[in-house]
Each structure stands twice: as structure tokens, then as C-alpha cells.
């Protein structure tokens, strides 16, 4: 095997408590590069259709890319793949921090976990030695305490840990996987881990990542660094990270009152300049010069003394728009609470906003909420609602199912109030105000995920000059395909999704990095990369097709298609779902009627094995 | 300089942000050995009488002993010395864990801090490099989060940290200093640190401790280890640590209802066997084979999910006896909350119990407690009371002053309800049920501290066979002097106080360890060690005499002298204070009338410089 990879997969069978090492397959490497490529191929090959997401046969694939653990910038993220209990389909989720690099240092490219342990355990990966250890004593602990106690047990505070909180143990459908407060948040990976009785994976590695051509690699890294420095977005993003609430409110597409308004009152409280005042320290991921993270602390008011790492834009929104108020303190306190309890902030905030709408409509009442008054503008119940969801107490039990399933169970019109696609709640962009954003949320194979094909062209005019009218349905098929495919090949790396969004990494530099690391010639060819990107998206789709997904699942709740944004800069707009899907499927070479890749497309992408 | 010591003191002047290194004085080493010896000598020499405990001129001396960081067992504790805001006198407090060893690895024997920083800072000691760093962003954070964020800032999770929580920042008179949940708890060291705007001292060291005679040292360590293993207490103490609530209740000396009863109802809930059920992991200090610590977690009931390291016996008592109930869950939750907020559990529990008595007597009412019902047997308000004390909210503000000062301020008879000596609240032994215990609490120079001369002979029949009737006032002067002096010389080491209490270390082994480490012949001589022990106690007393202390300060509240224990195995007993003090002073060679060491005694102990 060449550089970049460690040439080792760890397979863990929790049912039989068996751990085996396995070499990387060279064909897999060539045909899928790594990261998201490996994830979808292995999940497609190894999971039978109809696998229970919380059952023994579901797998969790933890992986870091071929550039992780090197000095390339923003490439040391890790991804986790599994069949999602939220969507019932293929899922990928990822996180920055240090866990991904540590996986490589421990000599591994991937850890694949299946089975269910007979009692709570954690996996200890110690530089070539592996152990399934007791975690009964950790069960019930929050993520922060879990980190602390595992480090103490192992006698090494520098161990890197990914773990779940109480919400994952209880199968909350949007429980995430947390590593030092950074989250693989979406899709219920925490619930899958909890279902396996796997509290955490702790890693310590002292190895390094070999490179095929050190000099070429160094030159490519130098080029990448120079590119970052020359980019006009670099310093702003470095300082503010994702604090873009003002921009999205200014466009009138800040989802408010469960997507019934597009501007939240007093949004000025949530401006980047306000968060900057609370920023007490910058934070960073392994080998990333951007340092976009922050520790923020609030000094006064109801939430005085609260602090968090972040909050990111999505979280700022999740605890403001959905309940229609703008308390910066709450965004800080709620973010930390979600991190501690192991919850995805987007789906948590969205589920709470969903409950506020049901309360307004009388579908649920105080009798259902243990007396909490879920009235818009009243943010007081939010922290308690978060706790209820994490512990599945009272109304939290049904909300823990996600808004699609909760709507079904509650009925009486609640079915229409879950703002989700494929069971995954929408993030902080109203699709009616940015149609390429919307089309991505609509068609991404994991549900309404902004990171799979973020359309910065509509909001920031990057990464490439692309003539774009954010309200026009036309032309968005092509743009969405471009965004999704480029994201897909950059996620083989695994590059942080902020960098392409900011136009901070061109495909040619990526190609040179891959070539320098691995020595595999094809990886330097942009055409090859684009093909891999498209191939990944198509194979993801075929995973879902096998599970029964089709065009019917690429659909927004009717609110976004039939009701227009009532006022502000996005007023009057609705989402033209059918028209845009037709165009998108056509661009993709998929069957327009079913939204399924054609035989020809699959063959073109060397995915003949996926043809039914 | 010889082995054991690093021959380096770090002096930190926070006012002028000046850091200087200084060598150890060889005479100081010979005449005081280390630890408690160094602390009292330097504090005596460097503090002017009348120094404001919270002012610029008070010093904090952090030290580890000559055996810390070696493989000798139970010797890696650290001690902190300062003039106490609780007592107004000399204070010493100590903690296990890993900070003490790390101080040595960083090449230091001591850190002496004076002055006040103009804004919150922490001290970063990095293997010979020193830095005063900003801590504004840490101000307000609890101890656990402070550890996490400092480690992240420094990019090294193995940094060892001693810090204060919100209570120390607010000058709570019994705020402690915390390192990974282990506390220098008593006497308000946290308030002194807070007054200096010093949030933490972080240390990373990669050096080692040299030994004068490696072979002799190894032989002594072997002897020590064999002694531990042969000791009948070893396995019990290893398993249960300090869980002795059943023993103390069985003696009828478990202080209940603010020392008005001697047995707490349903004490069976607090038996060691019950805590053993909650024990999820053992914990340990650096180089200690005893592993007496535990992580305990509670699975059900009101406090389900709560966990803590510990609780130690004193804490078990502090959140049961004082409020007269026996909820094991509360002891767990309250211990962790005190660790997080930075509070000494003994004085916190005692202060809450004091408030319960005032409430019963109508001296305070619901109007003073923000509606909390402080009725005996109602444990619900306890966690909220802890928070109120830490943040000085409502009634917590006056309770934060300690029961002596709070009694003075509240008046109306509250003066008699503070169960303390010299301003330090009594621990979990009723002096009327164990008179040598009591005499130690009465006469110790830092106030009612059990660790300065614990009398295990009365409770456990160790460490030496000593014919003892626990109720008899006679003969306790001699026993107390023996316990206090031996503790004092073993705390030059700095040995964990549990070991001598369990009879687990004889003076001759200690002497051989000191000789092997330092090569200083006198240290092997038991007579020399006994002299050092007595010298320390006398110099501590002279520090206090200079501050105006005398026999009048060696006094219990009248409850313990005039009211007898109402029922149970200690029923009918009162504490014969005057008789026992007379005997004690006589044994000590102190003036019986004033409780002040005589000129002759001071000269005999080479303390001529302390004669007025």
C-alpha cells in the first residue's frame, strides 16, 4: 500500500466481542479514494436491505481520510456512516476536532462496528492494541463527564474520545456522537451507538502518516496555505466562524415560527458582533489554520455564567427562530446542554419549535407539557424541553422520535407541522428564499442536510462566480448537482465543508495533495475527482432505492410549497418542488418519474453492481 | 543539594507580575525537612502579624514533599499554606491526586504566591518556563470546566491543575482549591486565591526526582510496601476507603441536628456496604497502592444519574447528620456539586445544618431562605442551599462567612449555634463521644481539623495499642500530643494522613525513606523526627500567638461542654474542656493559663527566634 493510508481496518463485533484487523482493498482505494467513498461502498456492500437501524446488523463505520493526521489544512475530520434510525436510509455525519487524526496515529483508516454488546462497553484502541472495556459505570453520564472518566480510567488525559450522552442511550432519533464538544450530530448516530451498548470509542496513537512523495506533498500544502491566506473570506471566517444570522435574516430566510416567518424579531441580538463580545477564546481542529471555533461565555442575565464551544450558526438559529425570540444567552446555554446530553442542535431546536406550533394550535396543551407554556417569544421552557427530549420524559418521549414520526403519532394535523425531508429536520435556511439551498435539502440522500451541497453562491457569491437569482427555480438543478458532487469528492479527503463553501480550496490543489500523499496518479485528475463525486452521490441513492426510496421521498412538507413567506425580502416566494426536481433529475441522468439513477448512468459511473 | 528536593522555589508576585526562582536554603531543609515544616517556617518568617488574609501581603505556599514524585507510597500529596480568612490564623490544607508529583517533575519544591493580579489570571508552569496567563474567560466557570478549558488552551490534556470555582471567586470563607475533584478543602484557601485573582495553577513537568542513595531508597520502599500488605487494615481500607458511617453511628457520636444528637435516623442507608453497591470504579493518587478512592454513581431515585469521586466519610456526614436524614443519593449529588463549585464539604454541610437549627428556632424564617423549608428530615433544599452559598445569594451570603461570623452577624442566639473552633467548623465526630478526638479538634492550630491529630485509638484501636477509654478525660493530653506530633513529622513527607491513622507506616520506615532520598543522616533518627513534629506544632502555635491567639481560642461552643449527648452509646457525656486543656498544656510544656509555649520549650525546640 502507498502513502496516506494506514492500510488497516478494525472490525469489531460487539455481540461476539471479537476484534479483527483487515487490510484495505487496493481496488476500493482506487475506486473510492476514502472517507465518504469508503463509507457508502462498504455500507452498500455489507448491509442487507431492511436492516433494523437499531439492530445487531446495522454497522457503524468510523473513518478518517487519507490526508488526516498530516499537515494539510482542514482535512483531519472523521466521518461516521450507518443506516439512520431517523430516515431509514443511508447516513453520513462528520466532525472536526482531534479524533480523526488520532485514528490515523493509531494506525487505522477505519473502525467498523457491528453487533450489540450484552452490557454497556467502550472500545479502547491503544496504538495497535484493542480492548472492549466495561462501561456500565459510564452509562447515564453526560458527554463531558464521560470524557473525563475514561481519560482517568486509562490514565492518559490525551486519549481522544467519541461518545454518546444520555440521549443516545435512550435512542433519541437525533442523538449524536461527541468528541470534546464537537459533534457528528445528525441522523441519530448516537442512537445507533446506544443501541449497540457502545458508550464510546477511545483512541491513543503514537504513529504517523507516511507520504508517497514528501516533497510534492509539502509543495501542495504550501499552495493550499497560500490559497487560504489569499482568500478574502479567510480573516472574516477565522474571526467569526459561522456567525451569519444577520445575513440570513437580511435575506428574509431565517426560519421563524417553524418556517412560517422569515425574520426573527430582534435578530440584531444575534449578530456576529454580539457573539464576538462573548468570545473568550478561539478554538481549532487538528491541523487547521482557520481556528474558526470559539469559546463563548455569557456574563449577565438569566444565563449568566453559561458557556459553550460555539455556538455555530445552525445552533444560534435552532434556539431562536423556532421559538421566535432572540436571547443570545439561551443560544449559549442550550448549545452546551445539547453537547452534554448528546443531542443534535438542529433537530432538537426544530422539534421544540414543532411543539410550540402544536401548542399554539391547541393540538397539545399544558397537560401534555407538564405545565410548560410553549408560547412564541417565551424561551423559558427551552432548556427544560431539551432535558425532556434527552431523557424521553413526558412530551420529550414522542419528540425524541423526530418531527416526522412525532407528527404521525400525535395526528390531528401535527403531521403537517414537521419541517423535514426523509425524516431529517431542515436546517436554518428557508428553501423558499434560496432555491438551490432548497433543492439540495430536498434531494440529498440523508435528508435535509445543508452540508451535502451547500449553495454559497446564493448567499455569499462564492465559491465560483455563478450567475444566480436565489428565487428562480430555473438553473438550480445544475448548480445543485455541482455543489453536491464537488462536496462528495472533497469529502473523500475528508475536507471540512466550510472550506469549499468559502471557495477556499480548488479541486486541483486537492488533487495534488491526494497525489502527494498516496502516489495514485488518477487522484490528481479533476475529471476523475468529479466522477468519484458523482459516483458517491449515485451509490448513496441506490442504497436508499434498495430500501424503497424514490421521488416520493424527495419532498418538502406542503407548507414550503403551498404557503409563501409572509413578509420581508423573501416575501411571496414558494418552493416549486416538481419543476425543480424534474430539472435536477434530468441534470443527474436519473429517471424523472422515479428519481432513480438509470442503468446507463450507473454503468457510466462503474456502478453496474447496483443495477437491479 | 542532595536528593529528594529539586532545590528550587518559584516566587510569584501577582501585583507586579514578577516571577523569580530561588534556591532552597540548606538550613531550612535540615531544620524543617519539608512540607508542613517548610510551610510554617516560611509563613512565620514572611507574614507580618495582622496581615489581611484577603490582602496583597498574604502568601500562598504550595509545596510537595521530598518523597513526592518517587515510588514511595502515599507521599505525593501537596499542601497549601496561608493565613486563613476563616480563622484569622495559620492554615495548612492538603490534597492527594497528581498535582504534587507534577510540581516535582516540573523541577520545583514550592511555589510561593503573593500580591493581587489586576485581573483574573492563571499561572502556567511548564517545565522550567513560567507564565502568568489571562483567566478572564475562565472566571465564573466551575472547577471541572476550568480543568477542561485550560487543558485545551495549553493543548495538553495531561497538564495538572489546581483551581478555584465560583465560590472562591466570591470569597466564600470555606472555598477550597481543587485538582481533578480532589480538594485542599478547608480554611478558605479558595477565597485567598480568589482574592488574588488567581483562578488556577497549571503544571506540566517532564523531569524526575533524584535520590541520594537509590539502593537504600528501594529497600525502604520495599519495606513500606510489605508493611502495607501485611497490615490487616489494608484490604478493608483499599475497598471501602473512609466509609465508616456505621462505626461512628454505632458509637453514638455521629453529629446529628447540629451536634444535638449522636445517631442519624436510618443510618443503615449510609453503610459502607451501600456505598460499595454504588462504587463503579476505584481511583487512586500518584504512587499509592491503596486505591482508596472511588467513583460512585446513583442509579435511581431523586438523584438518579448523579455521580462523584468519593464521597469520603466527612462528606457523607456533612449532607446527612446536619439536616437529620440519610439519603445516599444526596450525599453523592452534594459532593459533586461542592467539587464543581469549589466548596469544602465539611463547612458547607455544617453551615447548612446551622441554618436548619436557626430555622427550627425561628431565628430565620422562610422570608430569609427564599421560601426554602429548612426542616429536619427535608433534604430537598440542600443542593439549592449549596448553590446559594457558592454564589452568595440570599441567605447564602451570610452563611458563606462560616458559622462563627454568621452567628455574630445574625445574633438572637445564633452565636451559640455555630459548632466550630477558631472559626473552623467541626468534622464528623462528636467530641463528647471521643475525648482525644475532641481534644485534638480543640487544640489544633488551624481550628477543628481532624487530620492534624486523628485519634484512631479511640475508634479503631490503632495505630499503637494504647489503653483508652473514649469517655475519660484523663490521659488524653498525652495521647493527643502523640497524635499531633507524629502527624506533624509525617506531614513533612508529605504522607497521606490515612496511613498513620491505619497504623500503616512506622516512623523508622519513614526515616529510612527520608535518608535514602535525601542522604541527610538526622532524618533517619526517630528522636529527630519527633522533635521536628513537636517543633512544627509549637511554631504554628507561635504564629497564632503573634496574631493574638491564646487559651481563650482553644474552646468549644458551650453546647459541647454543657449539654450532654441525649441518647445512644455516648449518652450523658459532656466535654470537660478545662480539665483536658490543663492536662494537654502540661504535656506540651506550655503555660497552663495562656496556652502559650514557654520560653524553655521554644528554646528546647530551637525556636528561640519566636520568643517574644
The pLDDT tens digits of the residues spanning A288-309 come to 999 999 999 998 889 988 999 9
Within 8 A of B295 by CB-CB distance, chain A residues are: 137, 149
pLDDT at position B460 is 83
Per-residue pLDDT at A503: 75
How many C-beta atoms surround the C-beta of residue A206 within 10 A? 11
In this model, does residue B596 exceed pLDDT 70?
Answer: yes
What pLDDT is attached to residue B1?
57
* Residue B507: per-residue pLDDT: 82
Give ∠ CA A313-A316-A322 in degrees, rounded to 5.
Answer: 120
Q: Which domains does chain A have, with CATH numbers?
A: 9-204 (3.60.9.10), 232-425 (1.10.569.10), 431-503+525-610 (1.10.599.10)
Measure the CA–CA gap between B546 and B549, rounded to whole angstroms.
Answer: 7
pTM (2 d.p.)? 0.89
pLDDT band (50, 70, 90) for residue B505: confident
Residue A208 is given by DSSP the state -
C-alpha cell, A259: 418556517
Q: How many CB atoms lie within 10 A of CB A578?
A: 12
- Say whether residue B156 is in contact with chain A using an 8 A CB cutoff: yes
Examine the predicted complex and report whether its ipTM is higher than 0.90: no
Chain A residues within 8 A of B180 when measuring between CB atoms: 152
CB atoms B299 and A152 under 8 Å: no
* Distance from the first to the final alpha carbon of chain A: 33
Region for A456 from its dihedrals, namely left if φ exceeds 0, alpha if ψ lies in -120 to 50, beta otherwise: alpha
What pLDDT, in 10s, does the model give residues A197-226?
999 999 999 999 999 999 999 999 999 999
Q: Which residues pair with A60 in a beta bridge?
A: A113
What is the rounded end-to-end Cα distance, in angstroms, of chain B?
A: 33
- Tell me which chain B residues have a C-beta less than 8 angstroms from the C-beta of A297: 137, 140-141
Report phi then psi at B192, rounded to 5: -65, -45
Q: Are A239 and A198 in contact (CB under 8 A)?
A: no
What pLDDT band is residue B465 in, cutting at 50, 70 and 90? low
| A-B contacts at Cβ under 8 angstroms | 50
Give me the mean pLDDT over the B5-14 stretch.
Answer: 98
pLDDT on residue A143: 98
B609 touching chain A per CB within 8 A: no
Chain A residue with minimum CA distance to B305: A140
Give the long-range contacts of residues B410-418, CB within 8 A, separation 24 or more. Answer: B410/B358, B410/B363, B410/B364, B412/B363, B413/B361, B413/B363, B414/B354, B414/B358, B414/B363, B416/B557, B416/B558, B416/B559, B417/B258, B417/B354, B417/B357, B417/B358, B417/B361, B417/B363, B417/B557, B418/B354, B418/B557
For chain A, the average pLDDT equals: 96
C-alpha cell of B24? Answer: 532552597
- Residue to substitute from A119, A161, A307, A333, interface B, most B β-carbons within 10 A: A307
Rounded CA gap, A81 and A62, in Å?
7
Mutant choice from B140, B150, B161 vs A, greatest count of A C-beta within 10 A: B140
- The pLDDT tens digits for A365-419 are 999 999 999 999 999 999 999 999 999 999 999 999 999 999 999 999 999 999 9
CB contact under 8 A, A297 and B137: yes
Provide the CA B165 distance to its chain's centre, in angstroms. Answer: 17
Give residue for cell 416520493.
A552
B425-436, pLDDT tens digit by residue?
999 999 999 999
Residues B162-204 have pLDDT tens digits of 999 999 999 999 999 999 999 999 999 999 999 999 999 999 9
As a whole number of angstroms, the distance between CA B284 and CA B293 comes to 6
Which of A158, A180, A281 shows the shortest C-beta gap to B153? A281
Interface of A with B in 305-364 (CB under 8 A): 305, 307
Q: What is the mean pLDDT of chain B?
A: 96
Distance from CA of A157 to the nearest CA of B (A): 5
- DSSP 8-state secondary structure symbol assigned to residue A263: S
Judged by average pLDDT, the poorest of A345-349, B14-18, B454-458 is B454-458
The per-residue pLDDT for range A422-476, each reduced to its tens digit, is: 999 999 999 999 999 999 999 999 999 999 999 999 888 777 667 899 999 999 9
Inter-chain contact A141–B180, Cβ cutoff 8 Å? Answer: no
- Give the Å distances, CA to CA, from B597 to A122, B258, B540, B552, B605: 60, 33, 11, 14, 11
Output the CA torsion sign for B52, B54, B59, B63.
positive
Average pLDDT over residues A304-317: 95
Residues 6+ apart with CB under 8 A from B237: B290, B292, B498, B502
- Contact call for residues A32 and A532 (beta carbons, < 8 A): yes
Q: Tell me: the pLDDT tens digits for B307-356?
A: 999 999 999 999 999 999 999 999 999 999 999 999 999 999 999 999 99
Cell readout for A487 is 462536496
- CA within 13 Å, CB half, B243: 28
Specify the 3-state DSSP secondary structure of A509: helix
The verdict on A304 touching B (C-beta cutoff 8 Å) is yes
Confidence (pLDDT) at A194: 98
pLDDT at A1: 56
Which residue has 504513529 as its cell numbers? A207
Mutate to test the interface with A, among B99, B152, B156 (most CBs of A within 10 A): B152
Residue entry with cell 522550567 = B128
Q: Hey, is the C-beta of B158 within 8 angstroms of any chain A C-beta? A: yes
- Decide: B378 and B323 in contact? Cβ < 8 Å: yes
Cα distances (angstroms) measured from residue B24 to each of A328, B7, B60, B158, B606? 52, 5, 17, 28, 20
The size of chain B, in residues, is: 612
Residues of chain B with Cβ-Cβ distance to A288 below 8 Å are: none
Amino acid at each position: 500500500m502507498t502513502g496516506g493510508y494506514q492500510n488497516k481496518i478494525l472490525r469489531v463485533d460487539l455481540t461476539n466481542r471479537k476484534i479483527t484487523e483487515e487490510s484495505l482493498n487496493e481496488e476500493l482505494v482506487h475506486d473510492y479514494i476514502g472517507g465518504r467513498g469508503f463509507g457508502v461502498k462498504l455500507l452498500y456492500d455489507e448491509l442487507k436491505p431492511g436492516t433494523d437501524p437499531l439492530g445487531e446488523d446495522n454497522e457503524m463505520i468510523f473513518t478518517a481520510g487519507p490526508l488526516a493526521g498530516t499537515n494539510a489544512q482542514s482535512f483531519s475530520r472523521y466521518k461516521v456512516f450507518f443506516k439512520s434510525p431517523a430516515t431509514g436510509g443511508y447516513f453520513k455525519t462528520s466532525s472536526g476536532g482531534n479524533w480523526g487524526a488520532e485514528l490515523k496515529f493509531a494506525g487505522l483508516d477505519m473502525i467498523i462496528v457491528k453487533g450489540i454488546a450484552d452490557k454497556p462497553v467502550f472500545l479502547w484502541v491503544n496504538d495497535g492494541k484493542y480492548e472492549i472495556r466495561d462501561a456500565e459505570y459510564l452509562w447515564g453520564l453526560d458527554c463531558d463527564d464521560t470524557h473525563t472518566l475514561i481519560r482517568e480510567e486509562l490514565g492518559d488525559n490525551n486519549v481522544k474520545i467519541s461518545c454518546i450522552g444520555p440521549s443516545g442511550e435512550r435512542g433519541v432519533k437525533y442523538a449524536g456522537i461527541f468528541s470534546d464538544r464537537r459533534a457528528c450530530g445528525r441522523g441519530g448516530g448516537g442512537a445507533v451507538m446506544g443501541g449497540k451498548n457502545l458508550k464510546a470509542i477511545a483512541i491513543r496513537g503514537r504513529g504517523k502518516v507516511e507520504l508517497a512523495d514528501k516533497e510534492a506533498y509539502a509543495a501542495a500544502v504550501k499552495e493550499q496555505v497560500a490559497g487560504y491566506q489569499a482568500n478574502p473570506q479567510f480573516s472574516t471566517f477565522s474571526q467569526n466562524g459561522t456567525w451569519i444570522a444577520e445575513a440570513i435574516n437580511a435575506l428574509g430566510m431565517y426560519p421563524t415560527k417553524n418556517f412560517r416567518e422569515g425574520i426573527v424579531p430582534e435578530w440584531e441580538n444575534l449578530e456576529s458582533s454580539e457573539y464576538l463580545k462573548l468570545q473568550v477564546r478561539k478554538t481549532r481542529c487538528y491541523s487547521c489554520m482557520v481556528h474558526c471555533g470559539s469559546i463563548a461565555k455569557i456574563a449577565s442575565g438569566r444565563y449568566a455564567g453559561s458557556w459553550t464551544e460555539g455556538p455555530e450558526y445552525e445552533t444560534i438559529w435552532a434556539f431562536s427562530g423556532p421559538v421566535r425570540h432572540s436571547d443570545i444567552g439561551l443560544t449559549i446555554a442550550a448549545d452546551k446542554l445539547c453537547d452534554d446530553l448528546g443531542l443534535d442542535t438542529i433537530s432538537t431546536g426544530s422539534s421544540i419549535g414543532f411543539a410550540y406550533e402544536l401548542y399554539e394550535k391547541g393540538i397539545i396543551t399544558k397537560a401534555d407539557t407538564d405545565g410548560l407554556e410553549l408560547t412564541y417569544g417565551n424561551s423559558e421552557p427551552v432548556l427544560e424541553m431539551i432535558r425532556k427530549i434527552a431523557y424521553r420524559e413526558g412530551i420529550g418521549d414522542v419528540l425524541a422520535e423526530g418531527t416526522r414520526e412525532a407528527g404521525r403519532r400525535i395526528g390531528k394535523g401535527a403531521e403537517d407541522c414537521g419541517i423535514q425531508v426523509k425524516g431529517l429536520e431542515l436546517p436554518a435556511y428557508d428553501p423558499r428564499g434560496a432555491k438551490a439551498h432548497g433543492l439540495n435539502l430536498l434531494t440529498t440522500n440523508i435528508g435535509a442536510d445543508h452540508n451535502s451541497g451547500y449553495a454559497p453562491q446564493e448567499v455569499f457569491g462564492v465559491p465560483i462566480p455563478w450567475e444566480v437569482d436565489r428565487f428562480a427555480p430555473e438553473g438550480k438543478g445544475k448548480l445543485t448537482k455541482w455543489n453536491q458532487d464537488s462536496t462528495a469528492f472533497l469529502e473523500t479527503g475528508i475536507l471540512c465543508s466550510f472550506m469549499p463553501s468559502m471557495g477556499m480550496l480548488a479541486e486541483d490543489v486537492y488533487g495534488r495533495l491526494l497525489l502527494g500523499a498516496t502516489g495514485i496518479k488518477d487522484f490528481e485528475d479533476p475529471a476523475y475527482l468529479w466522477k468519484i463525486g458523482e459516483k458517491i452521490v449515485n451509490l448513496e441513492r441506490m442504497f436508499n432505492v434498495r430500501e424503497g426510496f424514490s421521488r416520493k421521498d424527495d419532498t418538502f412538507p406542503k407548507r414550503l410549497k403551498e404557503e409563501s413567506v409572509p413578509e420581508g425580502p423573501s416575501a411571496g416566494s414558494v418552493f416549486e418542488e416538481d419543476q425543480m426536481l424534474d430539472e435536477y433529475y434530468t441534470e443527474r441522468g436519473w429517471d424523472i418519474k422515479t428519481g432513480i439513477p438509470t442503468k446507463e448512468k450507473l454503468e457510466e459511473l462503474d456502478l453496474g453492481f447496483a443495477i437491479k
